[in-house]
Structure 1
């Protein structure tokens, strides 16, 4: 199993990304509003506490990214989803799109994938 992560710098493409993921094998995803530290530093002076900066950004509705998290069952499904996302919304080699990556998981319990009570590979 894998954790598939997309940090999408173009939030207007979120709905399309989620549709493509679902059509290609994702059983669900969590979407989190996010902002890069660089954006915070551009907006506020460096000597201002980061927590205060983040709170002010939230109040101003200044989130610029959507972070998508999805647990994917196999490498084949993971690769299929990643390829389909890029085909439908654009290449992540374009640095303005964001970043897409995955990490292997050695334990998952609950969720739509199923219940696992032991470590697996």
Structure 2
């Protein structure tokens, strides 16, 4: 991503983001469909447990990844080059590199696959 930004090649970056979002939507819709099909097998007294659990996991994982992005990707290297720092100093003095953020995301997702 940094190479694309350095070259000013934002069209490629935006197309890659668009492809990623499209694939995310496919996965999300497939997961919702599987949830609906599995919920048909639930006994009446437990109806909705699968859907509720899935939505809670989705909300919690979204919150965790947003907090990771807010804290780890607000450093000097993520701020546009050639611009002065803002007066309110919203740029943190610490950060994780782009690849380190992806390793952290992988580590957070790994327990759900094991």
Q: Fold conserved (TM > 0.5)?
A: no
| TM-score normalised by L of structure 2 | 0.27
User: In terms of Rg, which structure is larger?
Assistant: 2
Greater helix content: 2
The answer to which structure, 1 or 2, has the higher relative contact order (CA under 8 A, 6+ apart) is 1
Greater strand content: 1
| TM-score normalised by L of structure 1 | 0.26
